[in-house]
Amino acid sequence: MLQWHAMTHRMIQESPLSHFPQERLSLLRELGSLADEGGMSLYLVGGVVRDLLLKRENWDLDVSVEGDGIAFARLVADHYGAGVAVFERFATARLSFPDGLKLDIATTRRESYAQPAVLPTVRPASIEDDLSRRDFTFNAMALRLNSKHFGRLLDPYGGKRDLRARTIRVLHAGSFQDDPTRVFRAIRFEQRFGFRLERITSRLLVKAASMNLIQRLSGPRLRNEILLLLAEHDPVHAIARLTRLKLLRFIHRSLSCTKKVKRVVTAVPKTLAWWTRRFPDSVIDRPIIYLMALLTESRPAVSAGVIRRLALSRRQAKNVSAGGSRLNRAIRQLTSKDIVRPSQVYHILADLPDEALVLLLAKQGNVQHRKRLNLLKRHLVVYMKNKVIETALTGQDLQAMGLQPGPQYRTILGKLLDARIDGVVATEADERAFVRNRLDLVACDT
């Protein structure tokens, strides 16, 4: 612990921009020169400043302008041939550069909240006012980008001090009430950095968690914070923190982390690591898997309620719904001694999203179920190999072979796919022989 603390202290003594990639550093200097020409003060702001001080990789670029941020964004877009999307309400713009780089440009602003948990009203202000509206002190720092003062750190609220002390501190007593999403952000940073909540901040967070302010958040705002928290490298401890603070009730009043749910959640990181090694081309929605794990013992009505509360996308909703009774049935079937053919495995798992397959393994991820877990892994390897298999013949080929169109097409093509998966047929010629044989059998029966 002391060694880590000393390392953190050394990191933040260095020049904040000393470890920035050269091409990004050159861009920032050019942006500073453009701001000089327009008579504006320009600052690098946000989590990137914090992470530069901690020497953590974070090359997101967020800059704030004392002046007309949208006008400056259009100037930069014209200069570099970048696309620009403007958000007038918050006086911000997002630039998309030809090389794929994203750059957020905002007018420095002050925020006021008409009532807790609603989006704020904003108006232009100084950089000091802009930093005062941030969530925590270590996120309330800025680096000057104008040529004369390039790289100078602006730290009016002691963010650098709190980084040294590995402490999370809000800027004012009403912070969590103004924006309850900060409760989830505090937990996320606490677990990511191994920091601790400052004493008063901790008390304010517990108080905010005990109130119903979070219930006032819109579905999209709550979803974004929950999924960001679950997207952390290993969110198991953060989920435990949510449980202790009784915050899961804001996702659904019946959602709880029972011992069985906790076992599944705890098994997800190891299961995900195995899946990623075994199937590197599989694109997995990691946060959704953890949400599915939290719902592993919930009734379908609870899952449906979570989908509505978080305003999940259609794909996310499909994944969450797939983690229910069908998955439990699949586990029972796949661990049965009657499952011997690859085509049987295929039919049990067909159409389940990969996220559900990861959860299937996590539900068996303990010592007591080691043999069943290994069996399921073997079945999944077989399934992932075979789920992309298609028959060479189509309905048009069956018609050309003299079979009248009808429901029997689906039956024959289904049997043909099973034969492909089981290795009974391997070529188009094999498939034609297989179909003719079945047609001959049908003819004999009639």
The reported pLDDT for the residue numbered 270 is 94
Q: How many residues does the chain have?
A: 446
Q: 172, 140, 169, 167: which is closest to 156 by C-alpha?
A: 140
Question: Is residue 343 scored above 90 in pLDDT?
Answer: yes
Instruction: Give the three-class secondary structure for 162.
Output: helix
Q: CB-hemisphere CA count at 13 Å for 196?
A: 8
CATH number of 2-156: 3.30.460.10
Q: 369, 302, 303, 295: which is closest to 332 by C-alpha?
A: 369
- pTM for the predicted model, two decimal places: 0.87
CATH architecture of the domain with residue range 251-386 = Orthogonal Bundle (1.10)
Give the bridge partners for 110, in sequence order: 123
Q: Grade residue 445 by pLDDT with cuts at 50, 70 and 90.
A: very low
Percent of the chain with pLDDT over 90: 70
Question: Is residue 361 scored above 50 in pLDDT?
Answer: yes
Average pLDDT (352-378) is: 86
Q: Grade residue 90 by pLDDT with cuts at 50, 70 and 90.
A: confident
* pLDDT one-digit tens code per residue, 147-180: 999 999 999 999 999 999 999 999 999 999 989 9
Instruction: Give the three-class secondary structure for 180.
Output: coil
Q: How far is CA 445 from CA 105, 300, 441, in A?
A: 75, 46, 6
Q: What is the mean pLDDT of the chain?
A: 89
* pLDDT one-digit tens code per residue, 219-264: 999 999 999 999 999 999 999 999 999 999 999 999 999 999 999 9
Q: 126, 60, 128: which is closest to 94 by C-alpha?
A: 60
Q: Where are the chain's structural domains?
A: 2-156, 251-386, 395-445
Task: Please give the Cα distance from 159 to 221 (Å, whole number).
Answer: 26
Question: Is residue 367 scored above 60 in pLDDT?
Answer: no
